Amino acid sequence: MCATCGCGDDSTVITLAGDDHHHHHPHDHEHPHAHAHTETVALEQKVLAKNDLIAEQNRDWLAERDILAMNIMSSPGAGKTTLLERTIREAARRRPVTVIEGDQETLLDAERIRAAGARAVQVNTGAGCHLDADMVRRALQTLNPAEGSLLFIENVGNLVCPALFDLGEQSKLVVISVTEGADKPIKYPHMFAAAGLVVVNKIDLLPYVDFDLEKFGDFVKSINPGAQILPLSATTGDGTPAWYDWIELRANCQMSLRSVDKTFSPE
């Protein structure tokens, strides 16, 4: 997607955690060396239009199987993987959990997810700074999540580019830690504008850092009045019951909508 965000076009590698076989999937995107502004904009529109089409196909595939897919975005080190580890251990009793892990290199996060008890696919993007819908489609083919399950897509750590790309998810989430500063929403407005939920992680560190939770909430609401803000600690578990309730509500809503669609679909 070099014309859109400037990242490289190294081959994507998709690996099922615990599998020694790497699957190389070279990008098929065009990379013309055009410098005119109009040509760059046209190529950006073309890339995003292709991505959005595949994202809708992903969304339909997931909806047909009653799979709730959540795209989790954050800067590096905000605690996405730690939150997923706790969620797998505590929420997988209600419904199966699978994870698509996005990182530029290594299988470390996918191995952590597998150790916590969930199946995972690692998508290594090389020089790429985000996941796109085609990467997710190929990861879904490898992972093949169960019907009625939860699918977490842990995006590459980056507060800019992942906000641009629809992956076919039902919800976008942003995780921010209290160590990052309360001004992140106004510094990275596109990311917070795209989020349905903003998780404020590491609240156990609030006594030791300069983070104004009220001011942070005001910044988020100024950009995205409809966003829900959920403070928690993935390490201690404080606030996580509200996190599980949020997930369960959306899973039940998705299943209810699917039931309505089946009831009123033409024979």
Q: Where are the domains of the chain?
A: 2-26+37-264
Count the residues in the chain.
Answer: 267
Handedness of CA 174, 48, 136, 111 (dihedral sign): negative
Q: What is the edge-to-edge ordering of all strands in the sheet holding 12-16?
A: 23-25, 12-16, 119-124, 97-103, 150-154, 68-74, 171-177, 197-201, 228-231
Return all residues near 72 (Cβ < 8 A) that are at least 6 apart.
80, 83, 84, 152, 153, 154, 155, 173, 175
In angstroms, what CA-CA distances link 266 with 57, 95, 262? 21, 30, 9
Return all residues near 62 (Cβ < 8 A) that are at least 6 apart.
68, 69, 140, 151, 168, 170
> Residue 137 has what pLDDT?
97
Report residue 265 as tokens: 């679909």
- In sequence order, the β-bridge partners of residue 12 are 25
In angstroms, what CA-CA distances link 77 with 13, 145, 157, 160? 22, 27, 8, 15
What are φ and ψ of residue 199, in 5° steps?
Answer: -95, 125
Locus of tokens 């093949």: 144
Position 150 confidence tier, pLDDT thresholds 50, 70, 90 = very high
Question: Measured between alpha carbons, how far is 40 from 1 in angstroms, rounded to an integer?
Answer: 12
Q: Identify the helix (H) or strand (E) that includes residue 4.
A: helix 2-5
2-26+37-264 is a CATH 3.40.50.300 domain? yes
Please state which of the ranges 44-48, 144-148, 200-204 shows the lowest mean pLDDT: 44-48
Identify each DSSP E strand in the chain by its residue range. Answer: 12-16, 23-25, 68-74, 97-103, 119-124, 150-154, 171-177, 197-201, 228-231
- Does pLDDT of 31 surpass 80? no
Q: Which letter does DSSP use for residue 265 in this model?
A: S
* For range 165-179, the mean pLDDT: 97
More confident residue, 153 or 253: 153
> Residue 36 has what pLDDT?
52
* For range 182-198, the mean pLDDT: 97
* For range 29-51, the mean pLDDT: 63
Q: Chain-wide mean pLDDT for the chain? A: 87
Position 12 confidence tier, pLDDT thresholds 50, 70, 90 = confident
